[in-house]
Structure 1
Amino acid sequence: MNFALMTEQIDTDVSLDKKMKLRMNKLQKRLRREMGKAIADFNMIEDGDKIMVCLSGGKDSYAMLDILMNLQRNAPISFELVAVNLDQKQPGFPEHVLPAYLESVGVPFHIVERDTYSVVKSVVPEGKTTCALCSRLRRGTLYGFAEEIGANKIALGHHRDDILETFFLNMFYGGKLKGMPPKLVSDDGKNMVIRPLAYAREKDIAEYAELREFPIIPCNLCGSQDGLQRQIIKEMLQAWDKQSPGRIETMFRSLQNVVPSHLADAELFDFKSLEVGYRHGINPAMQSGAENNHMPEMIDILSV
């Protein structure tokens, strides 16, 4: 290669490197903005919190930890981050990858070793999906460890696409209108779970992870199984997103704009007590806390 061609190649490489850095900075700012809004909207993080950041080795949890650490350096409040990985003893799991990465970024961490892999393989019949049992075992172990280290918040790396997928999974296969909330308290009331990436798009996270060159560890326990219900839902949503850009955003907004009176859950909304003559059929005097001596004002139903 002559000098001119070498110079041209160097200029091209520099240009590509500059574009990649600009793209990474843009994605980081977007993810920071979305995470910051989710944290504010749901009051996920408060001054003095000790947050256990669950790290699986996948793109989502790497991105979550990366952005949380970025926010921690610039936040007006003080909070502690502790990264925790559950080593489930899957055959061939590269045990050295996560410790090396976590040491390199300077975050305190723990590797919790539990052989849930053997439990799952012994209980779930060959050919059946393992995700449900695997997630329950993993969740139980992590909840208990959070108490051990004194963490009052548990951060999981689920993003907006995960939340929508869960919503449709529950509706199509479980007969429930139920999603994956950005913030929740565990069933036993002991753990507060937060999902800081609740507003982030999976495709942004995937691109960011690639640009940041996170050392991704694939899940060989269930990731190669065919016919997973979640994969079917994921492909459906991806097709919709491709065919009708903006539909995913609209669907996610619907989860934040629920109208119980226009659904059909009699436990969620008191349909039996509806009365003609009141706005939306609700007699304020019949509501909890209403005083009997303050009768509601009747309205002209023809004007509604």
Structure 2
Amino acid sequence: MQDVAERKDKLEFNKLQKRLRRQVGSAIVDFNMIEAGDKVMVCLSGGKDSYAMLDILLSLQKTAPIHFDLVAVNLDQKQPGFPEQVLPEYLRSVGVPFQILEKDTYSVVKEKIPEGKTTCGLCSRLRRGTLYSYAEKIGATKIALGHHRDDIVETMFLNMFHGAKLSAMPPKLRSSDGRNIVIRPLAYCKESDLAAFAEAKAFPIIPCNLCGSQENLQRQNIKHMLNEWERAHPGRVEQIFGAIQNIAPSQLADRDLFNFTDLAIDRSGERAEYAFEDASITDWSDGDGVESAKRERGVQYIDAVNL
């Protein structure tokens, strides 16, 4: 029985691994994320998603029809209790070139953010600035981040509900100064698949709450909402992500995105066929027409004037 269970587990893992590799490969092709000669800086946090991203990119690198280089980078932000040896030991074991950056952003965040407030926003901005700068220093042409499909959908709702803005995390992004390209190879991957993959691979996960920050309650609320929708209507999150890829600007209300001001009638071309375009017409302009219409419809009308 144990052998049967082990074979079943192995089969399920192989299916999961193939699915994730296929999804990452599709995202790379669809958004032209990685090109021949690229040097991809893979950002590792020590969480399940970035471990999975590195693992899959390493496997795709071996079979890709083009040559590209990978370098793994972790930013040690000097959070108390951060296990400094975990990532170097793992990265040596998989044989990937890597660098550990050290920058005490933890002290800066603690100084700037009042006690009890979430530190994630400022922390991520400081981390991003350090990584952008280092990417230039080493000549990296792409910066790979481990955000997955669920992150992207959650971010869209966060921006809608709390920022009155319809935006999310794009699979590929050029930084505002134009000096870096960010890619998200896991854009098509489900978080639950990544969690199962990380468990099966026994990645040495480093918790993300070492800084003592409270959870981002707004994001957790969004995640709970989406989980409830998914339970009630399986596939709903996938449908929402599909909608992000199928925007109809003329059906929204962004005047910068679509020119509503200059819309004008143009009846010069061939007209499309309208459904139910041939309607019967009744002349209601005189009493005879009204009485005739009543008789034809067999309807008892009440004369409101005589009520």
TM-score range, shorter chain: 0.7 to 0.9
Aligned-partner Cα distance in 1 for 2:266–2:62: 56
Aligned-partner Cα distance in 1 for 2:104–2:243: 40
AA in 1 matched with 2:179: K
Aligned to 2:262: 273
CA contact (8 A) 1:86 1:111 kept: yes
Number of aligned pairs? 275
Alignment counterpart, residue 73 of structure 1, candidates 58, 62, 70:
62
2:37 is equivalent to residue 63 of structure 1: no
Alignment counterpart, residue 249 of structure 1, candidates 199, 217, 238:
238
Aligned-partner Cα distance in 1 for 2:217–2:130: 24
| Aligned-pair CA distance for 1:301 | 6.8
| Aligned-pair CA distance for 1:19 | 2.4
CA contact (8 A) 1:53 1:154 kept: yes
2:86 is equivalent to residue 115 of structure 1: no
CA contact (8 A) 2:77 2:102 kept: yes
Query: 4+ residue stretches of structure 1 with deviation over 4 A?
Result: 221-224, 301-304
| Aligned-pair CA distance for 1:22 | 1.7
Aligned to 1:135: 124
> Over the residues paired in the alignment, what is the CA RMSD in angstroms?
1.5
CA contact (8 A) 1:155 1:194 kept: yes
Aligned-partner Cα distance in 2 for 1:142–1:181: 18
2:149 is equivalent to residue 149 of structure 1: no
Rate the CA distance shift 1:84–1:40 in 2: closer, same or farther, 3 A.
Answer: same
TM-score, normalization by structure 1: 0.87
Q: Deviation digits for residues 87-122 of structure 1, max 9, x if unmatched?
A: 010000000000000000000000000011111111
Aligned-partner Cα distance in 2 for 1:85–1:76: 28
List alignment gaps of at least 5 residues for structure 1: 1-10, 279-296
Alignment counterpart, residue 23 of structure 2, candidates 26, 34, 37:
34
Q: Deviation digits for residues 177-232 of structure 1, max 9, x if unmatched?
A: 00110001001100000000000000000000000000000012467624621111
Aligned-partner Cα distance in 2 for 1:158–1:226: 17
**Percent identity (aligned):** 67
Q: How do 1:167-182 residues align onto structure 2 when only pairs under 5 Å count?
A: 167-182=156-171
Alignment counterpart, residue 228 of structure 1, candidates 217, 221, 225:
217
Give the secondary structure class of the aligned counterpart of 1:16. Answer: helix
CA contact (8 A) 2:71 2:96 kept: yes
Please say which structure displays the higher CA radius of gyration. Answer: 2
List alignment gaps of at least 5 residues for structure 2: 276-307
Rate the CA distance shift 1:148–1:136 in 2: closer, same or farther, 3 A.
Answer: same
Alignment counterpart, residue 210 of structure 1, candidates 199, 209, 217:
199
Aligned to 1:300: 271
AA in 2 matched with 1:24: F
CA contact (8 A) 2:44 2:51 kept: yes
CA contact (8 A) 2:119 2:213 kept: no
